[in-house]
Amino acid sequence: MEAAGGLPVTRLLDRIVRRERSRLVAHLVGRLGGARLDLAEDVTQEALAVALASWPYQGLPDNPAAWLARVARNKAYDRLRRERRELPYDAEIDKRSTNPEIAPDNTPDQDPELRLIWLCCHNSLSERDRLALTVKIAGGFTTGEVAGLFLTSQEAMARRLTRAKQTLRGSEKELHETPETIDLAARLKSVLKVIYLMFAMGYAPRRGEYAVRSDIALEALRLARLLAGHAPTATAEAAALCALLCFQASRLAARETAQGGIILLEFQDRGLWDRNLIAEGLGHLQTVRQAPVVSRYHLEAGIAATHALAPNWESCDWSAIVRLYGHLETMTRSPVVAVNAGVALAMAGDPDAAMKKLEAVSDLASMHTYAPYFLARAEVLARQGKDGAARESWQRALTCPMSEPVAAVIRERLSSLTG
């Protein structure tokens, strides 16, 4: 069964639910205050459950966002009325809760989703807790999806998120902050990282049935543009992040087949890449060429720009990419970066150096369930002519969490090796 625009109803509903979850929470927090973050999350989930139970049979309302906002608001009011039997009447809540419509503004100070991100990037939390909690709440992701992003188990992530919420509840006074009273500069690095992670989860989902979630990636790009275009937040880092997301988003139309399969970079039709987004990315990079401090976003944007400017896969300047990854690896000390650097070394014609780099992170627990590590290893082994070992690494990758389209590519590759 298909909905308007040719999308299957199930996928359309999934997109609406995922897209509106964070908007609803942001809307309710804006109306009820940050101290009622838990309430906003609870009633949002209840409203979405009602929608998923009724819309497939009754049809979509004319304005799904307004429908959800009304249901969630009414549920919140019902909960607050029950609380008022024991709590004093809070006139300020009613004053801020008169408009159920969600109307994003064009500045980071007023955009409801960015307001929620500013709020959740609270200084009382460690950076890892801050990022995990904000990505989940503001990005509308499940605990399992966030766990996959941070290379940990769902159970461990659930405990981390619970602790983070408890810490926030202990800072209830600060949760009444607004972007006008928050020290934006103190939280900007975390906000940029949240947007970066949101884009990553849309561009390359770690779990589930979708190869790409373009709506999530483009929403992250929208937020990055807001920050890069607003004087108080228009830092070199913000511009570099915006450049990176422009380059990556330019490939979205070429990254997925009509049937929902994934198209690897090597095989993408570069004629489908969005040249306007590439030009926008280059413009952002130009503005930060003389930045006194180079961030990881500068380096990653440089890598993405190298791909964007190559007319085809064969002519890509892999030596330049290897150099950029070298700087990025030194800066971040990240095993994920090391894996990507290993792939770049192999593509540049040095599979032996690539394997040494992969072996250096092989004992890390986070790599044992990280599919890209085993995919990189398989690629390098194949280039070394070790087909049997490459096949084992492909098979090991299949035991790791990954999206179904990526698993399909691996199974196809294994089939070709054994056929």
Kindly list the averaged pLDDT for each block of 10 residues, start to end, along the chain of length 419: 50 72 81 76 87 83 86 86 53 40 54 82 86 87 87 90 79 53 78 95 90 92 93 92 98 94 95 97 92 92 97 94 97 96 96 96 94 96 93 95 94 80
Q: Is 205 helix (H, G, I), strand (E, B) or coil?
A: coil
Give pLDDT, residue 94.
43
Is residue 114 a contact partner of residue 23, using CB atoms and an 8 Å limit? Answer: no
Looking at this protein, which amino acid is placed at residue 61? P
Evaluate whether 398 touches 411 at the Cβ level (below 8 Å). Answer: yes
Sole residue written with tokens 């009820």: 32
pLDDT tens-place string over residues 345-382: 999 999 999 999 999 999 999 999 999 999 999 999 99
- SS3 (DSSP) at 362: coil
Handedness of CA 184, 187, 189, 190 (dihedral sign): negative
Would you call 214 exposed, middle or buried from its count of C-beta atoms within 10 A (0-12, 13-18, 19+)? middle
Identify the pLDDT of residue 168.
73
CA atoms within 13 Å, Cβ hemisphere of 196: 20
Q: Which amino acid is at 374?
A: F
- Residue 332 CA neighbour count, 13 Å, CB half: 21
Closest CA to 332 of 303, 363, 368, 289: 303
Q: How many helices (H) and strands (E) does the chain have?
A: 19, 0
DSSP category for residue 313: S
* CA dist list (Å): 267 to 86, 314, 407: 63, 11, 17
Using the structure block, give the residue that is written with the tokens 């608001």.
Answer: 73
What the block records as the tokens of 194 is 């949240």
Rounded Cα distance between 171 and 133, Å, is 15
Return the closest-CA partner of residue 26 out of 156, 98, 120, 89.
120
d(CA 415, CA 419): 6
CATH fold of 342-419 reads 1.25.40
Query: Residue 305: which of 244, 384, 371 has the closest Cα?
Result: 244
Give residue 119's pLDDT. 81
Work out the number of other CB atoms within 10 angstroms of the CB of residue 248. Answer: 25
Tens digits of per-residue pLDDT, 17-26? 777 787 888 8
Supply the pLDDT for residue 238: 95
pLDDT at 372: 95
* pLDDT score at 212: 93
* Per-residue confidence (pLDDT) for residue 31, from 0 to 100: 76
Query: What are the distances in angstroms from CA 231 to CA 138, 235, 243, 330?
Result: 23, 8, 17, 31
pTM for this entry: 0.84
Q: What are phi and psi of 313, to 5 degrees?
A: -60, -40
Angle at which helices 127-139 and 112-120 cross, to 10°: 150
Burial pattern 257-285, b for ≥16 Cβ within 10 A else e, equals eeeeebbeeeebebeebbeebbebbbebb
Read off the tokens for 405: 């389209």
The structure tokens listed for 337 are 């970066």
The pLDDT score that the predictor gives to residue 289 is 83
